[in-house]
């Protein structure tokens, strides 16, 4: 019988496609949220070089803006050259808040990941 291994993730992800903005200081940058969980999300910036020039680095605090919603958090990891960025939320959302968020943000799709 094969051994089961623990899932290293704290929260399950939901794949999505949500246009959003990241605010660093006074400047706002376009991003796309490509997956979201109770504890954070993965974003893909439209212009990674602009974020690098703005001084974005791991552990940078940021505001994630979707319409009139603002979620506070920070960077926890990044792919080379900030092609993708993992963000944590300052406040964990429950699965009902995630569902409401996806509905209100008009996500192009939402697919739960195992």
**Residue 39: which domain range?**
18-112
Asked if 34 and 43 count as a contact pair (C-beta separation under 8 A), the reply is: yes
**Assigned domain for 3 exists:** no
Integer Rg of the chain from CA: 14
**Assigned domain for 86 exists:** yes
**Assigned domain for 61 exists:** yes
Q: How many domains does the chain have?
A: 1
**Burial status of residue 32 (CB atoms within 10 A of its CB: 0-12, 13-18, 19 or more):** middle
CATH code at 103? 2.40.10
Model confidence pLDDT, tens digit, residues 63-88: 998 877 889 999 999 998 889 999 99
Cβ neighbours around 29 below 10 Å, total? 19
Model confidence pLDDT, tens digit, residues 14-58: 888 989 999 888 889 999 999 999 999 999 999 999 888 888 888
**Assigned domain for 4 exists:** no
């Amino acid at each position: 019988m094969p051994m089961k291994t623990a899932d290293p993730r704290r929260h399950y992800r939901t794949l999505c496609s949500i246009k959003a903005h990241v605010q660093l200081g006074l400047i706002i940058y376009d991003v796309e949220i490509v997956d979201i969980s109770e504890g954070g999300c993965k974003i893909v910036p439209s212009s990674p070089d602009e974020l690098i020039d703005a001084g974005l680095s791991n552990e940078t605090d940021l505001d994630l803006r979707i319409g009139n919603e603002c979620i506070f958090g920070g960077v926890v990891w990044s792919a080379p050259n900030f092609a993708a960025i993992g963000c944590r939320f300052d406040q964990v959302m429950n699965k009902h808040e995630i569902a409401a968020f996806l509905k209100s943000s008009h996500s192009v799709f939402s697919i739960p990941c195992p």
